[in-house]
Structure 1
Amino acid sequence: MATQAGLLYQGAIKELIHDFKFNASPRAGVLLCELMLMTQPQLTGQAFVSVPMHPANARERGFNQSYWLAKQLSHRLAVPLHTAQRVKRSRSQRTLNRRERASNLADAFAFQIPPPEHLVIIDDVVTTGATGHAMACAALESGAKRVDIWAVARTPLGKG
């Protein structure tokens, strides 16, 4: 499993991601997508999958930034979009430490349709890698052979 996150989640990038994630700013989303395309991984896999939100959280927020990015990248790079489901409603990861994040997301994701052999998870920020790890486990259990992560940014070391 490889993780590609070309930017650090700090300063102007942090503000841009926050505006995109919590205000559904299409302008911020377009800029983030362009930045991702400038730092794309060598292998884009056979399909992209976004980090799904639990249906209750999706209703509350009304916007899934990971899905928006995955859809844009899928269109721009002609890579199919695959789907996963969030089957466990878990607490927000923001205040949790590394161990709590992993436990919080255990068995949180499922694939109703088997994924292709090489799947790439699209996300906005990688902090500890717990979300990607939980999704990768679900994808591998469902038939994938390789799962990579492509995110806009990662938190600076020691901040997760």
Structure 2
Amino acid sequence: MLRRALPGRCGFCLAAAEPERPWCAACFEALPWNLPACPGCAEPQPPGSLSDRRCGHCLTRPPLFVRSRVPLRYEDEVARLMQRFKFHASPRAGTVLLELLELGLPPGALAWPQVLIPVPLHPRRARERGFDQADWLARRLATRHGLVLARARRCQATRSQRGLDRAERYRNLRGGFEVRGPLPPRVALLDDVMTTGATLDALAQACLSAGACEVEAWSVARTPLRGE
């Protein structure tokens, strides 16, 4: 109610925001939208690429989720906003990212899943950080759109994915999640940032083992894989 009644400020530049939006028109237009992107893993593709063509990684090793929905690239203002949200637990940053995710999902996407599952942190890491960003996003997204929320469990405290290449990330997370079934046929997974898709692939495997038939991977932003 306060946000609607009082003049808002842009979450990026602090200029006057658009009505009922946490951003201004100029910053919104300058955001690094993830287009074109691979429909399988959401990896950003070169300009002029066909939007429905899968990348080489997905052709040689298809992910266990049927498609990805990741509207932004983890660059520039989106990266800075994500860092404030993820490492400083900024609710304002989280609200902006959540609204960008909602706006970036295609029509009908939010009506597709029968269950929404956030990528969980290991309890020890959650205690160290004091904040679980994927859970924060999923709870609010479920409340806004009437989605059923389910939970997954990390079976072990795997080492950080930072600095690992694609193959090492997949090996690091093999068998890393457990989901109590039975799950309904359509499941969407939610994470804040998607890098190679290894985490979401491992969680998709657990969901399929728990009875799901199709799994989608959702994330706010995708890290471009430069140099791979």
Which TM-score applies when normalising by structure 1?
0.95
Write out per-residue CA displacement over residues 40-94 of structure 1, whole angstroms, 9 at most, x where no aligned residue.
1443311110001111111111111000001111011111111110111101111
Residue ranges of structure 1 left out of the alignment (5+ in a row) = none
Amino-acid identity (%):
44
Higher strand share: 1
The one of 126, 134, 147 equivalent to 1:58 is 126
The one of 85, 97, 109 equivalent to 1:43 is 109
CA spacing shift, 1:159–1:128, aligned 2, 3 Å: farther
**Aligned equivalents of 2:88, 2:186: Cα separation in 1:** 32
CA spacing shift, 1:100–1:150, aligned 2, 3 Å: same
2:81 equivalent in structure 1: 16
Give the Å deviation of 1:159.
6.0
Counterpart amino acid of 1:8? R
1:116 equivalent in structure 2: 184
Residue ranges of structure 2 left out of the alignment (5+ in a row) = 1-65
Cα contact 2:152–2:177 (8 A) shared by 1: yes
Q: How does 1:117-132 map to 2 (within 5 A)?
A: 117-132=185-200
Greater relative CO (CA pairs within 8 A, separation 6+): 1
**Aligned equivalents of 2:227, 2:203: Cα separation in 1:** 22
Higher helix share: 1
**Aligned equivalents of 1:115, 1:13: Cα separation in 2:** 33
The structure with the larger Rg is 2
**Aligned equivalents of 1:108, 1:114: Cα separation in 2:** 19
2:165 equivalent in structure 1: 97
The number of equivalent residue pairs is: 160
Counterpart amino acid of 1:111? V
Cα contact 2:181–2:211 (8 A) shared by 1: no
The one of 91, 94, 99 equivalent to 1:26 is 91
1:88 equivalent in structure 2: 156
1:143 equivalent in structure 2: 211
Cα contact 2:68–2:216 (8 A) shared by 1: yes
* RMSD between aligned residues: 1.2
**Aligned equivalents of 2:164, 2:225: Cα separation in 1:** 16
